[in-house]
Chains A and B, each alone.
Chain A
Amino acid sequence: MKERLVQLEVLRYNPDTDTEAHFQRYEVMCQEEWVVLDALNKIKADIDPTLNYRWSCHMAVCGSCGMMINGEPKLSCHAFLRAYEGVIRVEPLAHFPVERDLVTAPDDFMEKLKRVKPYIIPKEKKPISEGEYKQTPAQLMKFRQYSMCINCMLCYAACPEYGLTPDFIGPAALTLAHRYNQDSRDGGRKERQEVVATHEGVWECTFVGACSEVCPAHVDPASALQQMKITSSIDWIVEHLIPGGKS
């Protein structure tokens, strides 16, 4: 197997000892087909056990290992070394506070996720003994793509609005609200609108589309947010312009 000497420049920060973050350079022999995470793991095992980052699945589904790689939000388990030349710069995910080294605090995202009520609020409740809610493949396809979000938060790191306006609920959480709104079993849209159809919600989005570009799960949050804007506008028209209308 072909090997290659890879140089990584990793942002280090330890609140116990450092007043500010600094870059540390590592050189490590890697196999051609490796990803950035493999290089970090080799550094941690053989060179510097004090380097800190999160990871688990190594197959782009657990969402743990998001970081900035040459300035772009990436899952490090899905950032192939072959795509990079020269020194690879590795930094913690943008727009989140750093706990230590490449470990950021996702508290804000976790709180926002909860606020959009990302769970079925049943249209009609029925007991398990009555079996499944029927859902045709076409009804499933209306929301399935939006259910693929792995909560890796790369879209928050890419979103310029979130960077400027931290109150913005943000791409992933809004997309999950949309996912439940679009589910034929759900009747909770109105409850979610209280959070979603506000200036912290979809109206903060300026449709830059960076979220969809960086999404490793092909969720396309930008399209979800656009659809939500349209339905929220229709709500407004029904409520304000149609005589006797109510949303």
Chain B
Amino acid sequence: METITTDVAIIGAGGAGLRAAIALAETDPTLRIALISKVYPMRSHTCAAEGGAAGVIKPDDSFDMHFDDTVGGGDWLSDQDCVEYFIHEAPKELLQLEHWGCPWNREADGSVAVRPFGGMKKKRTWFAADKSGFHILHTLFQTSLQFPSITRYDEYYALDLLVDDGRCQGVTAMEMRSGELRQIHAKAVIVAGGGAGRMFPFSTNGAIKTGDGMAMAYRAGAPLKDMEFVQYHPTGLPNTGSLLTEACRGEGGILVNKHGRRYLADYGMGPETPVGQPQLKTMELGPRDRVSQAYWHELQKGNTVTTQWGECVLLDMRHLGEKKINERLPLVRELAEAYLGVDIVKDAVPIRPVVHYMMGGISTNTAAATPLPGLFAAGECACVSLNGANRLGSNSLVELLVFGRRAALSAIEHIQGLPAGNAVALNAQAEKTQQRIGDLLSRTDGTESMSGLRKEMMDTMEKNVGIYRTEEGLQEGVSKIHELRQRYQRVILTDKSSVFNTDLFQVLELGSMLDCAEAVTVGALARKESRGAHQRLDYVERDDKNFLCHTMVHHQGLDVPRVDYLDVVITKSPPGVRDYSGDHK
């Protein structure tokens, strides 16, 4: 197996991975950087983010307000030292992107424009029409092309982390076009592999969002944190799950049920605001968890609209007018027209909540460091505890930047004066990967179909770990996912070819998703309270006495994982009431 030796290996080349790579290259041009991804960088799912990125820039805004919105929005599960660091770095990172050419929308005077977003008390979301993530990703990717020290390994599927002497020292990966394995020895590794939304059947996430980075770190001994917090975005297209950005509501779109009632007023987010005059932090600009939960209640009451794609509510943007829609929401108009046949200028569009984002992930601290020395993580795959129990829209694109850069700086610090790795020990580990893949390719006694197991996993997650959860459902979920992990050991691999074998990659991705799914279900069962995106019908209140803490899930091979807890860092904002009524201060 060929060995590649580098200083820092980055797994994932989306927003966080690219930002980390550029920070490494800029800070120390002598560093060798290996940027590894199972897709070409511009295919990364950052491209699908629409609405924008939050950072305090306007004179009427303040860091304190961004802090309060984020901590309250996260139902007090955010680590407040992390939030503090984040809000101060956010505008710098967004300005840095501006300097790199990101086509942010502008005010008439040439300054950057901001738009309102859910759960935010001020307009502070920078945006590039409704293709903000796309522009951020391409700006980062194109900017990265000027740094000769970044060596890209495009379409290399990362397999296992190499850990020796108690620290992470590299990764094994398969070159997808040849099927050849490589071991990449590195003094530090940054995982930036994205989320795992594809474990659910109805998701805004692209096919590549299979939690490989999370699972890799988890298997190597880094715990996964707060995995039970899965964000449903309130407004997905009911057939494809494609996202209709929160900016639809930020710009003034309203949600109505089959009676034409703006039902959010009935769930603590009223009173109604005038149509077309959205008010910050109330009604349609409530936080995502509350807005998605309101849909569930409407469904129980029979107030939803029955469509050929299932039960929906309606997102009405007609009053915005064609000009504003074309200027601010062109992608939304295209998506609804193409995939649903609805022109949002003329008709309300049926939507329903859709799995969108994992608040949980690889446990990291504010320095983007995991408990495993030499291993850092950033972006959706990480849980740095910025988002707590519910992420506010437009905080995650900034999170990629702030913690992508921070992971790079921490990695540089880590590798100073580090002794050389033990190549023999690392090689022995890499051979374990080779053995694992070899066994999979040569196995002839498989009995379980990959697509069959995948479907059972998705159905289980949707049925038992959805917007509202119960003890009984979660028990069933835990045992079912555990059973699927055992059956996965007998999965059939039909395609034995060496070249671009997507059957093999789908099998490996399913393994990653099952590991993540188990952490989600086990964490959800153990958390006997309702907080943010984790809502239990049998424990309806938030319980700060017992659960003002992070769930830490530790991998135990094929056994059920071990769960313990870590205190939340509270610096200045004691747990309070989340008030999204129109009366809030």
A interface residue numbers (CB < 8 A to B) = 1, 14-17, 33, 44-46, 49-50, 52-64, 78, 80, 99-101, 103, 105-106, 110, 113-114, 117-120, 122, 126, 128, 131-137, 139-140, 143-144, 147-151, 176, 180, 183, 185-186
Contact = CB atoms under 8 A, between A and B. Distances in A.
Interface of B: 39-40, 42-45, 47-48, 92, 95-96, 98-101, 103-112, 131, 134-135, 138, 142-143, 145-146, 154, 177, 206-208, 239-240, 242-243, 308-309, 331, 334-335, 338-339, 341, 450-451, 494-495, 497-503, 506
B450 A49 contact: yes
A119 B101 contact: yes
A17 B497 contact: yes
B437 to A, nearest CB: 16
Given A57-B206, A58-B207, A135 B110 contact: yes
A49 B503 contact: yes
B48 A59 contact: yes
Given A49-B450, A50-B494, A99-B499, A59 B242 contact: yes
A80 B339 CA distance: 9
B494 to A, nearest CB: 4
A148 B239 CA distance: 26
B106 A45 contact: no
Contacts of B134: 61, 150
B207 A55 contact: yes
B40 to A, nearest CB: 7
B242 A118 contact: no
Nearest to A132: B98
29 contacts: A1-B308, A16-B497, A16-B498, A16-B499, A44-B502, A49-B450, A49-B495, A49-B503, A50-B497, A52-B501, A52-B502, A56-B45, A57-B47, A57-B48, A60-B338, A61-B331, A62-B206, A63-B47, A100-B177, A113-B145, A117-B145, A122-B99, A131-B95, A134-B109, A136-B109, A137-B106, A147-B138, A150-B47, A180-B101
Contact of B145 (A15, A16, A118): A118
Nearest to A125: B99
Contact of B338 (A46, A50, A78, A106): A78
Contacts of A122: 99
B106 A62 contact: no
A99 B239 contact: no
Contact of A186 (B101, B107, B242, B309): B101
Contacts of A150: 42, 47, 134
Contact of A62 (B43, B107, B109, B500): B43
B505 to A, nearest CB: 10
A128 B57 CA distance: 13
A145 to B, nearest CB: 10
The 5 closest A-B pairs by CB, nearest first: A134-B110, A56-B206, A45-B451, A120-B101, A50-B495
Interface of A: prevailing SS = loop
Contacts of A46: 451
A99 B177 contact: yes
A216 B96 CA distance: 29
Contacts of B142: 113, 118-119, 176
Given A16-B497, A49-B495, A50-B497, A140 B105 contact: yes
Given A52-B502, A99-B177, A132-B111, A62 B42 contact: yes
Given A50-B494, A55-B207, A56-B208, A148 B39 contact: no
Contacts of B242: 58-59
A144 B129 CA distance: 10
Interface centre among A44, A54, A78, A103 (most CB of B within 10 A): A54
A191 to B, nearest CB: 11
Contacts of A56: 39, 43, 45, 206-208
B177 A61 contact: no
Given A59-B335, A131-B95, A114 B106 contact: no
Contacts of A60: 334, 338
Contact of A132 (B95, B108, B501): B95
A120 B96 contact: no
A101 to B, nearest CB: 8
Contacts of A57: 45, 47-48, 206
A58 B95 contact: no
Contact of B339 (A15, A33, A54, A119): A33
Nearest to B455: A45
Contacts of B108: 136-137
Given A58-B242, A128-B92, 11 more contacts: A49-B450, A52-B500, A59-B240, A61-B48, A62-B44, A63-B47, A122-B99, A137-B106, A140-B105, A150-B47, A180-B101
Given A50-B495, A57-B206, A119-B100, A134 B111 contact: yes
A185 B101 CA distance: 7
B98 A63 contact: no
Interface centre among B47, B108, B154 (most CB of A within 10 A): B47
Nearest to B179: A16
Contacts of A54: 39, 43
B101 A183 contact: yes
A80 B239 CA distance: 14
B106 A119 contact: no
Nearest to B207: A56
Contacts of A55: 207
B48 A100 contact: no
Contacts of B506: 49
Interface centre among B105, B243, B499 (most CB of A within 10 A): B499
Contacts of A63: 42-43, 47
Nearest to A106: B40
A106 B177 CA distance: 12
Contacts of A126: 99
A58 B500 contact: no
Nearest to A122: B99
B105 A147 contact: no
